[in-house]
Structure 1
Amino acid sequence: MANLRDIRNRISSVNNTQQITKAMKMVAAAKLRKAQDRMTQTRPYASKIAEVAGRLTDSSNASNPVMRKPEEVRNVLFIVVGSDRGLCGGFNNNLFKEVEKQLQENFEKHLENKTLSVVAIGKKATAYFKKRKYNVIESFPGFFDDIQYDATADIMTSATKQFVEGEFDGVYIAYNEFKSVIAQNRKVQQVLPIDTESIGNTKTDTASEQAIDYIYEPNSQAILDRLLPLHLNMQLWRAVLESNASEQGARMTAMDSATENAKDLEKELRLKYNQARQSAITTEISEIVSGAQALSED
């Protein structure tokens, strides 16, 4: 039977851990609400930009270098959005495994030829891909300490410039899309070259909306040149906000599970403590009775 002092120490340790996980759950819940607000405010804006860009490409002959489709995809860039902190269950590992699965299935030649590059956002993504010898050309640890649109736009603007200059023939974003507090969708989507068919598939259901003939000032080309970079920046910004909300939801769920597990463990330890204490008392009583009997026989 375990020593009573050891069991008491373990109970105290588990109780302290339980208080920490409960506090972390409350902090994650507060951050989740703020992250959800930012995410839900961004979704309609990003969707409307895509809709307007799609309408422009549908109704005019305007074009842009970000629409170019290379004859051969030689160099590929993956922007992976992870997190800076752990204690959020399988949030990071599940995404990274999905990315590696996609790379093995669809980009095996690029891996062999070392023509696949990675931009890692967050400490966890940086550590994971550098450790596995991927070509991490840029990393942004501590990115989520202060999430700013300008910092996200700089990353996407740099990737867009490299695509236009021919350094990359395809750019992908990998992130966790927020579905609910307990669930996330792992997404790997291509952002460059812009698929004109997908963003052009934004026709409304009503015939009156489809029949509207818009007049563009100064012209459709100038608007498209201004709109598409904004559309690309919003794609990464939305991915960052979705990932941040997903991270807080995953951490909240993980800390809730940890708190419940700590409660169960504490119950088991208290049961063991009571059993050990009862055994010790029984032993002491037996020794006293034996001693009394020995004295009476004398």
Structure 2
Amino acid sequence: MANDREIRRRIKSVKNIAQVTKAMEAVSASKMRRAQAQVLATRPYAEKAWEMLSFLARIRRSGADQQALLQERPEKNVLLLLITSDRGLAGGLNANMLREASRKIREWEKEGKAVSLVTVGRKGRDFMRRYGPPSKAEFSSVGDRPTSQALSIQKVGVDEATVAPIARVVIDDFVSQAVDAVYIGFMDFVNAVVQKPVIRKLLPIEPQEPTITITKDYIFEPDAQSVLTQVLESFTEVQILQGLYEAIASEHSARMVAMRNATDAANDLIGELTLSANKARQEKITKELMDIVGGASALAQASS
């Protein structure tokens, strides 16, 4: 058993760690509330935008097949837009996303598809540099409040980043037919303790059945195809932006829970170390008392 001084030193060190993790939990909780409000506020818009675009994509009037982002091709070359965090200390958040991405990449490669990457976040970038397919572009430090030029009604702030460069890379690769399909992978925010890895197709945009019955047709000016041409790229930006919002909310939630668990573990360890310190002190006191009693007995025998 370690001596009392060593145990006290360990208790002090663990207490310092507990203070740090408690502070990080508070910071993450504050950021999580803002990120949660952000993702919940934009989610209905993204869902309605998806529904509207699906409706537009189902309109097969003249010239519809010439829309570059709607063209379906045999998937020989696949691009994965992988979104992870820049920092760690978020529990199994990044590990779960990277595990799902690796599984999907292996699945594509078994089907004979060539896979390339665009990574957002340092954790995904560093992992895929070692174990993944080649990367076409890397983005990091997008911040907690990325925005889209397609939606901005004011100038982007100094502390904000736009998703336009990310969207530009994936759109250009698809339009130039360098890739036949684009998928996006991110952690979907469910609640503060549940986040799920999601990989879904981003391009080509595919018509889907509407979630509600459309009883009236829409009137477009000048026409549906002209509107479709203008909104396709903006819609793609919106989907990437929503994926980033989901990932940001998931990151802060996971980090808050991880730091809370770390603080609880540190407090439990402090209790165990305190008990060990008390035992060590009692053992030391008992040994000293036994030495005193032994010495007194020896003196008594010598005097007699």
Structure 1 segments of 4+ aligned residues over 6 angstroms from their partners? none
Deviation of the 1:109 alpha carbon: 4.8
1:211 match: secondary structure: coil
The aligned counterpart of 2:27 is: 27
Structure 1 residue 10 and structure 2 residue 24: aligned? Answer: no
TM-score normalised over the length of structure 2: 0.90
The equivalent position to 1:238 in structure 2, one of 235, 242, 251, is 242
- Residues 170-196 of structure 1: CA deviation (Å, up to 9, x unaligned): 100010000111111110001111111
Contact 1:28 1:248 in 2 (8 A): yes
Equivalent residue letter for 1:85 = R
Contact 2:144 2:248 in 1 (8 A): no
Structure 1 residue 137 and structure 2 residue 136: aligned? Answer: yes
Structure 1 residue 96 and structure 2 residue 104: aligned? Answer: no
> Structure 1 residues 229 and 250, CA, compared in 2 at 3 Å: closer, same or farther?
same
The equivalent position to 2:232 in structure 1, one of 206, 228, 234, is 228
The aligned counterpart of 1:170 is: 181
Identical counterparts, % of pairs = 36
2:86 match: secondary structure: coil
1:93 match: secondary structure: helix
Deviation of the 1:169 alpha carbon: 0.2
2:237 match: secondary structure: helix
CA–CA separation in structure 2 for the residues paired with 1:39 and 1:282: 62
Contact 1:39 1:238 in 2 (8 A): yes
Deviation of the 1:75 alpha carbon: 1.4
Deviation of the 1:146 alpha carbon: 5.9
Deviation of the 1:59 alpha carbon: 4.5
1:76 match: secondary structure: strand
The aligned counterpart of 2:157 is: none
Contact 1:110 1:116 in 2 (8 A): no
The aligned counterpart of 2:285 is: 281
CA–CA separation in structure 2 for the residues paired with 1:13 and 1:203: 56
Within a 5 Å distance, the mapping from 1:149-298 to structure 2 comes to 149-150=148-149, 151-196=162-207, 198=208, 201-202=209-210, 204-205=212-213, 210-298=214-302
Equivalent residue letter for 1:204 = I
2:274 match: secondary structure: helix
Deviation of the 1:2 alpha carbon: 1.1
> Structure 1 residues 255 and 131, CA, compared in 2 at 3 Å: closer, same or farther?
same
TM-score normalised over the length of structure 1: 0.92
The aligned counterpart of 2:154 is: none
Deviation of the 1:160 alpha carbon: 1.0
Q: How many residues align?
A: 287
The aligned counterpart of 1:105 is: 107
Deviation of the 1:133 alpha carbon: 4.8
1:173 match: secondary structure: strand
Structure 1 residue 38 and structure 2 residue 46: aligned? Answer: no
Deviation of the 1:60 alpha carbon: 5.2
> Structure 1 residues 123 and 203, CA, compared in 2 at 3 Å: closer, same or farther?
closer
- Residues 263-284 of structure 1: CA deviation (Å, up to 9, x unaligned): 1111110010000000000000
1:174 match: secondary structure: strand
> Structure 1 residues 22 and 128, CA, compared in 2 at 3 Å: closer, same or farther?
same
Structure 1 residue 128 and structure 2 residue 127: aligned? Answer: yes
- Residues 210-249 of structure 1: CA deviation (Å, up to 9, x unaligned): 3313221111111111111111111110000000000001
Contact 2:35 2:248 in 1 (8 A): yes
CA–CA separation in structure 2 for the residues paired with 1:279 and 1:187: 56
**RMSD between aligned residues:** 1.6
Structure 1 residue 54 and structure 2 residue 54: aligned? Answer: yes
CA–CA separation in structure 2 for the residues paired with 1:162 and 1:105: 22
The aligned counterpart of 2:156 is: none
Contact 1:122 1:144 in 2 (8 A): no
CA–CA separation in structure 2 for the residues paired with 1:147 and 1:59: 32
1:171 match: secondary structure: strand
- Residues 38-87 of structure 1: CA deviation (Å, up to 9, x unaligned): 111211111121222222233452621111111x3221110100000000
CA–CA separation in structure 2 for the residues paired with 1:60 and 1:220: 10
1:107 match: secondary structure: helix
Equivalent residue letter for 1:83 = S
CA–CA separation in structure 2 for the residues paired with 1:183 and 1:273: 39
> Structure 1 residues 28 and 110, CA, compared in 2 at 3 Å: closer, same or farther?
farther
Deviation of the 1:134 alpha carbon: 2.1
Higher deviation after alignment, 44-53 or 171-180:
44-53
> Structure 1 residues 59 and 140, CA, compared in 2 at 3 Å: closer, same or farther?
closer
- The answer to which structure has the higher helix fraction is 1
